[in-house]
Structure 1
């Protein structure tokens, strides 16, 4: 491992077209919106930005500032259009290495059209892949000397699955945030070290395995098929209700999962990107804990991990505080705090 751990985020880069509105119009209705803004996002880019911001102080050039706790690289593709350079520059401003980002000739940069309802802060999103769809199944996207790889599912699914297997074969820690959620092959679950989903994504994934009729009864029932499939660490985000996690170690010994209450929020301004902030924060804690990580073999149940320096409980609790702070601000990426802004 290098002097600091290296996180590679493999996923989408999109232009965000954000409209804020008092309420969402009904079918056939036209409303006057409050504002419009163009931003740079995509789940991959959002999570890379979150990882980078949360691994360093807000003023990294200050002589008194601590050095970053991780290097963060973005792996993906943008189009050869008017948006691509702005996208790359915005990531660089947050300290992200963009040398692994391709410029796809003849393609447009991906877009996300986002409606934010001002009264509640809730969002609705339409995604157009553009250059995010250029990758082939066997493209190897894993950078050299990487310690943690973080995937979503806004680039081709076959590319994601192939690179999860490549990363695991190289001994790299794999985090998957399967959004948008699609059923994935049961054979891939043992190669995922950390699976982070919201409740609806967990339902889709668990229902594609065994016992779908039990999946909605309670969180332990919802998590059981995924843990049975070989996932060592499962995290289910629950919005204002908090966060639930379960591990293969706890599951195999008959213990229930744990529910972490939501951190207090002064006022919800914008929930866009809160999930990405949570995932990025969790990834940073996984990377920081790698130096003191201890592999644990569980007889008959595969592997798991604990960290002498950072426990799953601590990582989830910190990620929850990060997500809570992010919803108090506007923007999917602009709302993500820096590392020294979260206790």
Structure 2
């Protein structure tokens, strides 16, 4: 079984459901509030685990009442939490508003995620992994140190720079797979991305900066992958009716990493990840929406034959 380490955020998501997002200064009635475990790092760890990976989480929770439910949600989904630290203060929080159209708006309060330091990283566990997944909800210096550690071993670095912020030029060669959505691809590359053609141009720009390979996710339009040899793969999305897009991208990444680490060819792994993401958007919540490997394989099967 592939060994995967997710280094990143662990949040409690406070989710409000509304018919439509409020305008600036407008007060509206919500349709209820839920408390759901999330965080991009934790979501990607859960997605990788449920897709069949042997997954360890490296991160931090606070000393508040949210800490234990957050850890329990990871444990219950097969994730090793022995590398999750307790930090003084609050756990990370995400304030999420979900509309009837299935779109979401998110405000992050980093809490303990912002206190995960480079010296907190277990070097041996990272270097010996098959893949290490990173995002931007922890300090950049911690991400950079994780990348450097991976270079001392065999771990493949999968980096999802969300929320998007500039990547120093010297860090690009440390990234084996850069995963970005349309907004992130445009923000990093400076190339307008409004579809497949823009995604291809942005991917070429980012590959040229030194990333090993680039994947641009395009929502309902699927995804575009550009490999180290310059060969591109366009993967269509599975047609579904979205209920909640929270964690759709995280589900895609976790499933993709597990599939590739397990020896699946890139094109097949992309289709596998696309199916996982499609299932996730038909369900509410973050970790609660993430499918199992059996569910993913059932969705993929008809397209295989």
Distance across 1 between alignment mates of 2:186 and 2:261: 28
Partner of 1:168: 151
Partner of 2:108: 127
Partner of 2:214: 234
TM-score of the pair, normalised by structure 1: 0.82
Q: Which residue among 265, 272, 291 is the counterpart of 1:318?
A: 272
**Helix, strand or coil at the partner of 1:182:** coil
**Helix, strand or coil at the partner of 2:287:** coil
Partner of 1:333: 287
Distance across 2 between alignment mates of 1:38 and 1:132: 18
Task: Give the C-alpha shift of residue 40 in structure 1.
Answer: 0.8
2:11 equivalent to 1:17:
no
Is the alpha carbon distance of 1:323 and 1:142 closer, same or farther for their aligned partners in structure 2, counting shifts above 3 Å? Answer: farther
CA RMSD, 1 decimal: 1.5
Distance across 1 between alignment mates of 2:92 and 2:30: 23
Partner of 1:115: 97
Contact kept? 1:141, 1:163, Cα under 8 Å: no
Return the index of the structure with the highest Cα Rg.
1
- Aligned length, in residue pairs: 293
Distance across 2 between alignment mates of 1:215 and 1:329: 28
Moved over 6 A (4+): 214-217
Task: Give the C-alpha shift of residue 258 in structure 1.
Answer: 2.6
Higher helix share: 2
Is the alpha carbon distance of 1:241 and 1:215 closer, same or farther for their aligned partners in structure 2, counting shifts above 3 Å? Answer: closer
Partner of 2:302: none
Is the alpha carbon distance of 1:335 and 1:137 closer, same or farther for their aligned partners in structure 2, counting shifts above 3 Å? Answer: same
TM-score of the pair, normalised by structure 2: 0.92
For residues 133-178 of structure 1, what are the alpha-carbon distances to aligned partners after superposition, in whole Å with 9 as ceiling and x for unaligned?
A: 1133454344524221110110001110121111122121111111
For residues 21-70 of structure 1, what are the alpha-carbon distances to aligned partners after superposition, in whole Å with 9 as ceiling and x for unaligned?
A: 01111122211111110011100111111111111xxxxxxxxxxxxxx3
Contact kept? 2:183, 2:193, Cα under 8 Å: no
Contact kept? 2:51, 2:259, Cα under 8 Å: no
Partner of 1:263: 238
Partner of 2:300: none
Partner of 1:201: 184
